[in-house]
Amino acid sequence: MAADVAQLKAIQPSNSHIMMDVQFHWTNLWFAAQKKDWAFAQYQFNEMRGHIQWLMRKSPIIRGQDGMDVDVKSIFDAIDSSSLADVKAAIEKKDSVKFGATYKTMIESCYSCHKAVGRPYLRPMIPTAPAMTTINLDPNATWPD
């Protein structure tokens, strides 16, 4: 049993790998909302949130750069019920103006967590280019045109 547990620990992805998935979906969410493709935006939001929840199950406590443990699950729980909930509400209301403001606030929340774990050099921003170019973000498009 101990060998099985050790093997499972050895093959689990790193926190940075999970966060790259979060970044991928978060970027796609921005561009989906810009095109008012609200169904795709909701999908990207759910995927992004699910990956953060995965990270919280995997590593609810993260050792900061200063060697101190940081309860990132508590940080996420607070963000999840505030700024992240506001992004979700903007998507559900299909409110582009509110979405832009809540997205920016959520980026600030992300950065506060990055700083809490001693990684202030991870400075998120509004994306300037889509993460993927193989999905048509026009909600009125007919496939594959």
pLDDT single digits (tens) 86-142 = 999 999 999 999 999 999 999 999 999 999 999 999 999 999 999 988 888 888 888
Per-residue pLDDT at 115: 95
Q: How far is CA 92 from CA 13, 95, 129, in A?
A: 32, 8, 24
Other Cβ atoms closer than 10 A to 69: 10
Has residue 38 got a pLDDT over 80? yes
Beta bridge partners of residue 71, listed in sequence order: 61
Q: Which residue has the higher pLDDT, 24 or 11?
A: 24
Domains (range + CATH), the chain: 14-116 (1.20.120.290)
* Cα-trace Rg, the chain: 17
The pTM for the full model equals 0.92
Contacts 24+ apart (CB under 8 A), 67-72: 70/116, 70/117, 70/118, 72/113, 72/116, 72/117
Per-residue pLDDT at 145: 64
Beta bridge partners of residue 90, listed in sequence order: none
Per-residue pLDDT at 12: 87
